[in-house]
């Protein structure tokens, strides 16, 4: 694989993590409110999948979608401003963290009701297929979503009509606090696709290269008119489900490093914030996707330690600039809200 693509993906992942860590910090400081679902640990999925997609493909995501939006090219400032609820946000402050949209980049939204991405993506794919276009609807969902009726209904229709959808399961093993063996009779999500004769595959969701390669292959199949495909990416979120989640349900071995690194002061300020481990601690636990890609890049000699440092700094500056943009962006007012609500009125006289 070409060096530039690898560097791009590493940069995406570094930006993703720095962005999310900063979002957590801004939440603790009160600049972001509501539900905030962060992505550390899962970066390889969004990056691996979306760097294999074309700009003409559609992306449909969940409420844990900041990183999907960033990789898709929505400027970090616009994503952060949306988290801040500001007019400069990609949804003009009307959607917030769980509802990022960007029509121009075909980022068709973050959806906050589990299981909604299936029909939305399938409907978009219907429009693509009807017009015989070489586009694909990329549908993200978590392991918990496969227990919703829409999963089965939509997969059935997508397969029945051979629609161009790539279903991507971000299997982080927990539906909020319930581990997969306690919420699903079948713990390997990809096996469920066989009920609808949809080709599916399980990949290591911590390995961005594996995710990327599997996605390219699946997209090629889909573009060939062969109907939908499903990818199960096994991953892990390092944080709780959201900032409101103390994470008490996870086994000791998983949460050990949380405990050893607990900052009582921070917890006192924001009881619900779980601290994120430093690199050494992650390395001790193993399985971190950023570490793995960086190792790969060193082996391939496409990135020197100095370049990595430069990249880190650039990413940090980008996040800093995003926060500055968000802070400086004005608050939306009721006219903005009315414009959003009546955006499709088109001068129509109702009464």
Give me the residue label for tokens 């496969």.
146
Smallest distance, other proteins to C-beta of residue 177, A: 23
By CB under 8 A, residue 329 contacts other proteins: no
**49 DSSP β-pair partners:** none
CA distances (Å), origin 67, targets 49, 64, 212, 227, 235 = 12, 8, 16, 27, 15
Q: Which is nearer to other proteins, 17 or 37 (CB)?
A: 37
Q: Residue 218's closest CA among 171, 166, 160? A: 166
Q: Please pick, from the candidates 61, 154, 175, 229, the single residue that binds other proteins as defined by CB under 8 A.
A: 154
* Cβ distance to other proteins smaller for residue 25 or 156: 156
Angle, CA of 259, 67 and 187, to the nearest 5°? 65
Q: Using the rule CB under 8 A, which residue among 77, 109, 205, 247 binds other proteins?
A: 109
Q: Is 102 in the site for other proteins (CB under 8 A)?
A: yes
Q: Where are the alpha helices (DSSP H) in the chain?
A: 3-28, 43-50, 66-71, 76-83, 117-130, 149-160, 180-183, 208-221, 252-260, 264-269, 279-285, 289-300, 305-328, 334-341
> Is the sign of the CA dihedral 145, 149, 154, 156 positive or negative?
positive
**276 within 8 A of 21, measured Cβ to Cβ:** yes
137 binds other proteins (CB under 8 A): yes
Q: Closest CB to other proteins among 99 and 296?
A: 99
Query: Is residue 62 within the footprint of other proteins (CB under 8 A)?
Result: no
Looking at residues 221 to 280 of the shown chain, list those that interact with other proteins (rule: CB under 8 A). none
61 belongs to the binding site for other proteins (CB under 8 A): no
DSSP bridge pairs for 171: 234
| Binding span for other proteins by CB under 8 A among 107-115, 199-207, 231-239, 294-302 | 107-115
Q: Can you tell me which of 9, 71, 80, 128 binds other proteins, judged by CB under 8 A?
A: 128
- What is the nearest approach in angstroms of other proteins to the Cβ of residue 145? 13
**Contacting positions for other proteins (CB under 8 A):** 58, 60, 89-95, 99, 101-103, 108-109, 111, 113, 116, 118-130, 137, 149-150, 153-154, 156-157, 160-161, 336-337, 339-341, 343-346, 348-351
């Amino acid at each position: 694989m070409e060096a530039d693509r690898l560097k791009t993906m590493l940069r995406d992942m570094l930006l993703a993590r720095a962005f999310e860590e900063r979002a957590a910090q801004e939440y603790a400081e009160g600049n972001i409110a509501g539900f905030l679902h962060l992505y550390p640990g899962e970066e390889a999925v969004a990056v691996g999948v979306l760097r294999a997609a074309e700009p003409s493909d559609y992306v449909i995501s969940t409420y844990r979608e900041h990183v999907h939006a960033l990789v898709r090219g929505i400027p970090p400032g616009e994503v952060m401003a949306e988290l801040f609820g500001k007019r400069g946000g990609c949804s003009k402050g009307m959607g917030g963290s769980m509802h990022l949209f960007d029509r121009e980049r075909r980022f068709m939204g973050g959806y906050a009701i589990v299981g909604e991405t299936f029909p939305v993506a399938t409907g978009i794919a219907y429009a693509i297929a009807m017009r015989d276009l070489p586009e694909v609807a990329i549908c993200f969902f978590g392991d918990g979503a496969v227990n919703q009726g829409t999963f089965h209904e939509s997969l059935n229709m997508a397969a029945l009509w051979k629609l161009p959808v790539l279903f991507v399961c971000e299997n982080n093993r927990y539906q909020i606090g319930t581990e997969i063996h306690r919420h699903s009779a079948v713990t390997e999500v990809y096996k469920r696709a066989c009920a609808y004769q949809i080709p599916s595959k399980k990949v290591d969701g911590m390995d961005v290269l594996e995710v990327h390669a599997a996605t390219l292959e699946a997209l090629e199949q889909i573009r060939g008119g062969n109907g939908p495909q499903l990818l199960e990416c096994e991953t892990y979120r390092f944080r709780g489900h959201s900032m409101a989640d103390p994470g008490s349900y996870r086994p000791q071995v998983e949460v050990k490093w949380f405990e050893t690194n607990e900052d009582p002061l921070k917890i006192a300020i924001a009881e619900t914030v779980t601290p994120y481990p430093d690199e050494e601690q992650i390395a001790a636990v193993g399985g971190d996707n950023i570490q793995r890609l960086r190792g790969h890049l060193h082996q391939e000699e496409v990135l020197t330690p100095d370049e990595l440092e430069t990249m880190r700094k650039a990413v940090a500056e980008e996040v800093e600039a995003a926060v500055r943009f968000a802070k400086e962006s004005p608050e939306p007012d009721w006219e903005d809200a009315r414009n959003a609500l009546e955006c499709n009125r088109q001068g129509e006289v109702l009464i």
